């Protein structure tokens, strides 16, 4: 059995940072869906949003997610914050493997991303208001997609990696036991 794990959560919740370290810890490749998309597009997501709009971006994102999920073998997948917006994507993620929701409150995220100019949905005035709106729309979607919720609050990345790795081991054991019983 191989570790197949996806991270979901708000922009700025730490998916890429935690994902990279958890992948290293678990000995599986790390795939950042946004980075993949940027390689395919040949430009930043922010530029693509400006030129083509969010709807076109969501189509590409759904296609990229479906493609990655079809690849066999172990992997750690970090998704973009809006990947859970489509029901099809949520299904793909749930079937993909263990999904972790990296939970952070809008106020905390705002502190982390206040100087970040790469995230198109957080540009323009009042990022905290934007984050609160996104959180209200998405928190339930993240929770319905994920098998585990990780509170990112005050813990160090190292602690979070340890907690997530433990959960992954338990998931692998539970999945193996379920298979054996079938």
Query: Strand 4-8 to strand 30-32: parallel, antiparallel, or no bridges (unpaired)?
Result: unpaired
Cα distances from 125 to residues 111, 114, 130, 139, in angstroms, run 15, 11, 9, 22
* CB 114, min distance to ligand S3P, A: 14
Among residues 121, 141, 160, 164, the one that binds ligand S3P under rule CB under 6 A? 121
Contact call for residue 162 and ligand S3P (CB under 6 A)? no
C-alpha to C-alpha distance for 78 and 18, rounded to whole angstroms = 9
Contact call for residue 45 and ligand S3P (CB under 6 A)? yes
Helix (H, G, I), strand (E, B) or coil at 3: coil
- 34 known ligand binder: yes
Contact call for residue 84 and ligand S3P (CB under 6 A)? no
DSSP code of residue 86: S
Nearer to ligand S3P by Cβ, of 18 and 75: the residue is 18
* CB 121, min distance to ligand S3P, A: 5
In 109-173, DSSP assigns E strands to 148-151
Binding positions for ATP are 12-17, 119
Interaction site with ligand S3P (CB under 6 A): 11, 15, 34, 45, 80-82, 119-121
């Amino acid at each position: 059995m191989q570790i197949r794990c996806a991270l979901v959560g708000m922009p700025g919740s730490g998916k890429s940072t935690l994902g990279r370290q958890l992948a290293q810890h678990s000995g599986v490749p790390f795939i950042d869906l946004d980075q993949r998309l940027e390689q395919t597009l040949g430009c930043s997501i922010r530029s693509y949003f400006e030129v083509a709009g969010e709807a076109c971006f969501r189509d590409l994102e759904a296609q990229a997610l479906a493609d990655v999920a079809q690849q066999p073998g172990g992997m750690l997948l970090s998704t973009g914050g809006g990947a859970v917006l489509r029901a099809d994507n949520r299904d793909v993620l749930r079937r993909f493997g263990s999904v972790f929701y990296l939970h952070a409150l809008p106020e905390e995220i705002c502190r982390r991303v206040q100087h970040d100019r790469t995230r198109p949905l957080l540009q323009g005035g009042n990022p905290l208001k934007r984050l609160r709106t996104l959180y209200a729309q998405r928190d339930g979607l993240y929770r319905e997609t994920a098998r585990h919720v990780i509170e990112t609050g005050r813990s160090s990345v190292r602690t979070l990696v340890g907690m997530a790795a433990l959960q992954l081991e338990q998931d692998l054991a539970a999945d193996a036991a379920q298979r054996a019983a079938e």
